[in-house]
Amino acid sequence: MSELIEVLTNDGSYSLKSTLFQENFHSIKGALEETKVKFTNPSGLHRFKNKSLNVLDICFGLGYNSASLFSDLIKQNSLLNWYALEIDKKPLEYSLKNNYFLELWHPKVFKIFNCLYQQNQFEDQFLKCKIIWGEAREQINHIPPRIKFDLIYLDGFSPQKCPQVWTIEFLSKVTKSLNPQGYLITYSSSAAVRMTLRNLGLEIFSIKSNLNLQNQWSQGTVAIANFSKEKFQKNLYFDKLSPMEEEHLLTKASIPYRDPYLNSKTEDIIKERLKEQSLSNLATTKIWREKWK
């Protein structure tokens, strides 16, 4: 794991840094805190107590998001059909060797993760899990199209570092897999990602910061497919976008990442977006930043 460096985050939980992407897997503020605030809490897992749900975890990584998901669902006797996409086995290998990580979760999580590592799948009377190794743009085609997901976690490296999983073409493919009222949840507050999701017909919300400060930047985004106010169950952890966030979507930052044939290189995706931004008449992000300080 020479290209991965262990990182101890501020809440005492461990993460990794990728030397390839020059980016941490989690915020230095806390890997565990990030999982709870940005993924588990907004999921509203209580909705599925004694019920069944389908979940897709894109960019599984060390497995924090799904470990937290498994732990909570095991406690409430939910039936789970789970898929994950991940290109690299090494982060999961690290998690299986890290006793601190394993002690955070229900004891069954180690058994699940070990089976995923050894056999790519796990199944018992409550859980049916399968991880698909390889590039997400390709491997998403191996998920049976009949399966519609109640939750999709999108936790890749940032759009500037790994734009492949944030393009309008990939997100279009992903969001077609959502159930009506299904949630796509991501840590990203990128205007490009949010505007893409809105243009794909999803209702977008801002994950609330755990700091009650004016103009505090959000903790991420929840996008709901086929949104219905009548069917929506109020969630304490996300809300409508603030005026500041809405104005962010009117700037050049909202121009999407594009990958027409889902095979473009990182540098080509970024280069084409910069070109499109240079030709756009939208306001600059600098003006927006100055207005909102």
- Whether the per-residue pLDDT at 1 is higher than 80: the answer is no
Average pLDDT of 246-256? 98
Closest CA to 149 of 82, 209, 104: 82
Q: Which domains, and CATH codes, for the chain?
A: 32-243 (3.40.50.150)
- The rounded distance, in Å, linking the Cα atoms of 69 and 54 is 12
Closest CA to 53 of 23, 79, 72, 75: 79
Strand partners, 81: 54, 128
Give how far the C-alpha of residue 79 lies from the chain's centroid of Cα atoms, to the nearest Å: 22
pLDDT one-digit tens code per residue, 142-189 = 999 999 999 999 999 999 999 999 999 999 999 999 999 999 999 999
The tokens for 156 are 């890749």
- Whether the per-residue pLDDT at 190 is higher than 60: the answer is yes
Strand-strand pairing, 127-133 and 121-123: antiparallel
- The rounded distance, in Å, linking the Cα atoms of 64 and 153 is 11
Are 106 and 75 in contact by the 8 Å Cβ rule? The answer is yes
pTM for this model (two decimals): 0.96
The tokens for 214 are 């004016």
Which of the residue ranges 171-185, 229-243, 244-258, 271-285 would you say has the lowest mean pLDDT?
229-243
Average pLDDT, the chain: 95
- The rounded distance, in Å, linking the Cα atoms of 47 and 151 is 12
**What share of the chain in percent tops pLDDT 70?**
97
The tokens for 131 are 């991880």
Q: Name the phi and psi angles at 172, rounded to 5.
A: -60, -45
| Angle between helix 64-75 and helix 108-119 axes, rounded to 10 deg | 130
Tell me what pLDDT residue 234 has.
80
The tokens for 157 are 């490296």
Amino acid identity at 172: S
- The rounded distance, in Å, linking the Cα atoms of 238 and 43 is 10
- The rounded distance, in Å, linking the Cα atoms of 6 and 239 is 34
